[in-house]
Amino acid sequence: MATQSEVIGMAALPLILVVDDEPSQVSRICSLLEDHACRVETVSSGHAAVERIRRRPVPDLVFLDMGMPVMDGLETLKRLRNLQPDLRVVMLTSADDPRKVVRSIRLGAEDCLVKPCKGPAMTVLLRQCLAPLPDDHDSETAGETEALVDGSSFVAASPAMRKLRSLVGEVARTDLPVLCIGESGTGKEVIARLLHLLSRRSRHPFLKVNCAALPGELLESELFGYEQGAFTGAVRPKPGKFELCAKGTILLDEFAEIPPQLQAKLLHVLQDGEFTRLGGRSRIQADVRVVAATNVDIREALATKRLREDLYYRLSAVVLEIPPLRERRAEIPILLRHFLKKYGGQSGLPSRPASAAVMEFAKRHDWPGNVREVENFAKRYLMLGDQALTSGNGNHLWPNGNGDSVRKADEEDAASPTLKAHVSSIKQNAEAAAILKALEQTNWNRKEAARTLQTSYKTLLGKLRLYGLESSKREGSSPSRNTIR
């Protein structure tokens, strides 16, 4: 017989109700929940769930299957919310019908979990749903973190990002092309993956192509493939990303870097839904949802003919604009803690909570590299502790507001205890200044700047990320046609 203290301890554990008519799914979910020290009850129908909610104690969280017979998940959700308006419900779905996913969110569901459920997604979801409801004034704990299939995360603690998350759910149920715009590092790829996850294409591939990393000839074969003998070295046919991504979603990252002649071919693919391999004659159907992303000034790219207007208007049926991190500061502490938990104990890095000093630094810093910079800083902090505030790759180099020069923090001289560190600092300053000068001379044309510096384009992109220079040239406003803000 359990002792009184054991009974009290059990009562303190969160109570979860699982509503599903598939025994194998129930067994899997119960196993995952028990791994997180939860008490679990199960019922197999919507009517049974309604009857259970009429009794005490009310569960802390309900996992509700979307596709049950007789009374489906949506009808059950409405009845449960009528009985208990504050009840937290997570829908279980196979993602066959994204419209139902959107409806469930509108009806008050906390989130949707794709079956079969996976451990990492369950961990993040439980942390999100079982946490105390945040105070309206507590910006540090008001975050919402949604696990994605690749372990990335979408964090929304500001009104702008919550609205964006809601709109992504609406857009995901369509097959319209989507254009994601925003500064480098704001999370455009995370948005694209979330679109894919919530769409009817989620069971099919999601592929990303970095259009800036390859010259035009290689990019064409990468996207559309080639036939045997199409060029020297083509000893066998190769399918392109559009073939490999059939029925899925393709992300064209940095799409504004695509050469104009290849932009014309991409436009035909979007218009006609078919393409030919390089050196081929037969037409191949392209059943692919296209998401494009860029951090360039769209107006400037259109004015200079760097980007075709017809391609832009074809891709921008819906535009999702992701605000920079400095405009959603409530998420900075949440992101930092998230990355410290994610990387603590991995790759030889120790686990380390955020100190008061590093949290204060995080709150007042502008983070020109956005979420990517926070992620890299978290790794440095795990390795160096508070020393990461005054050392590390480019952490002491910040472009000023006009992007005219690179200044060095006053504290750096006192914080560099060795001659080697001082020399390294001088070298980094000089290299960053040379890159900025080349970019200014070429009107921020990165390919031209790479040629001026006699380095590869890929190396230049790496240096821009390293020194946090990607957002030195502030973007202007983008064309407003169908823009979602």
Under the banding of pLDDT at 50, 70 and 90, the label for residue 363 is: confident
Residues 298 and 384 in one domain: no
Helix (H, G, I), strand (E, B) or coil at 171: helix
**Minimum mean pLDDT range among 112-116, 123-127, 143-147:** 143-147
Q: Do residues 310 and 183 share a domain?
A: yes
pLDDT for res 56 = 86
Query: Where does a domain end: 298, 323, 348?
Result: 323
Q: What local confidence, expressed as pLDDT, does residue 470 receive?
A: 62
HSE-up (13 A, CA, CB side) for residue 332:
22
Is the domain of 407 the same as that of 461? yes
Report the pLDDT averaged over residues 447-468: 80
d(CA 275, CA 264): 12
The verdict on 266 and 317 lying in the same domain is: yes
290 and 183 in a single domain? The answer is: yes
What is the SS3 assignment for 205?
coil
On whether residue 164 sits in a domain, the answer given is: no
Question: Do the domain assignments include residue 441?
Answer: yes
What's the CA gap between 117 and 135, in Å, rounded?
Answer: 30
Residue (of 326, 327, 336, 331) closest to 357 by Cα position: 336
Q: What is the pLDDT of residue 391?
A: 54
Strands (E), 45-194: 61-65, 89-93, 111-114, 145-147, 153-155, 178-181
pLDDT at 258 over 80: yes
The number of folded domains in the chain is 3
The reported pLDDT for the residue numbered 414 is: 39
**Rounded to an integer, what distance in angstroms lies between the CA atom of residue 215 and that of residue 129?**
46
Cβ-Cβ contacts under 8 Å for 160 (sequence gap 6 or more): 323, 327, 328, 485
Angle at which helix 356-364 crosses helix 370-384, to 10 degrees, equals: 160
Q: 170 lies in a domain?
A: no
| Judgement on whether residues 118 and 216 belong to the same structural domain of the protein | no
Could you give the CA distance from residue 115 to residue 445 in angstroms, rounded to a whole number?
45
Q: Summarize the confidence of residues 181-192 as an average pLDDT.
A: 90
Q: Which of 128, 147, 270 is nearest to 197 (CA)?
A: 147
Same structural domain for residues 257 and 393?
A: no
* 15: phi then psi, degrees, rounded to nearest 5: -100, 125
pLDDT at 394: 41
* pLDDT score at 8: 32
User: Any alpha helices (H) in 140-180, and if so which ranges?
Assistant: 159-172
Same domain, 250 and 365: no
Q: What is the CATH number of the domain that holds 204?
A: 3.40.50.300
At 386, the amino acid letter reads D
pLDDT in tens, 401-426: 333 333 333 334 334 444 545 555 56
Give mean pLDDT, residues 179-205.
89
Predicted local distance difference test score (pLDDT) of residue 456 = 81
**Rounded to whole angstroms, how far apart are CA atoms 20 and 73?**
9
Per-residue model confidence (pLDDT) at position 399: 36
pLDDT higher than threshold 80 for residue 136: no
For residue 367, tell me if it sits in a domain.
yes
Whole-number Å distance between alpha carbons of 178 and 195:
9
In a domain, 482, yes or no: no
pLDDT above 90 as % of the chain: 19
Residue where one domain finishes, among candidates 323, 338, 370: 323
For every residue of 268-302, DSSP letters joined together read HHHHHSEE--BT--S-EE---EEEEEE-S-HHHHH
Q: What is the DSSP letter of 238?
A: B
Based on the fold, state whether residues 126 and 241 are members of the same structural domain: no
Per residue in 51-91, pLDDT (tens digit) is 999 988 889 999 999 888 889 999 999 999 899 888 989 98
Secondary structure element (H or E) that encloses residue 43, with its range? strand 39-43
Question: Over the stretch 266-317, which tens digit does the pLDDT of each residue have?
Answer: 998 888 888 888 888 888 888 999 999 999 888 898 999 989 999 999 988 8
Look at residue 427 in the predicted model and tell me its pLDDT: 65
pLDDT per residue over 208-234, tens digit each?
999 888 887 788 888 988 888 877 777
What's the domain range around 272? 176-323
Q: Is 286 within the bounds of a domain?
A: yes
Identify the band that residue 476 occupies on the pLDDT scale cut at 50, 70 and 90: very low
Using CA atoms, how far apart are residues 360 and 58, in angstroms rounded to an integer?
39
Q: Which residues pair with 274 in a beta bridge?
A: 285
Residues 241 and 120 in one domain: no
pLDDT 10s digits, 6-15:
333 344 578 9
Mean of per-residue pLDDT scores for the chain: 78
Inside any domain, residue 346: no
d(CA 156, CA 110): 13
Evaluate whether residue 162 is within a structural domain: no
Q: Is the pLDDT of residue 471 over 80?
A: no
User: Would you place residue 121 in the very low, low, confident or very high pLDDT band (cuts 50, 70, 90)?
Assistant: confident
Q: State the pLDDT at residue 312.
A: 92
Strands 145-147 and 111-114: unpaired
Domain boundary residue among 131, 157, 190? 131
According to DSSP, residue 331 is labeled: G
pLDDT at 232: 78
β 397-399/406-408 pair status: antiparallel
The answer to whether the pTM exceeds 0.75 is: no
The predicted model gives 450-462 an average pLDDT of: 81
| pLDDT, position 160 | 81
* pLDDT value, residue 145: 44
Cβ atoms within 10 Å of 301's Cβ, excluding its own: 18
Q: Are residues 207 and 307 in the same domain?
A: yes
CA neighbor of 113 nearest in space, from 168, 66, 48:
66
Q: How far apart are CA 313 and CA 433, in angstroms?
A: 37
Residues 315 and 184 in one domain: yes
CATH of the domain at 70: 3.40.50.2300
The residue ranking higher by pLDDT, 137 or 174, is 174
CB 139 within 8 A of CB 330: yes
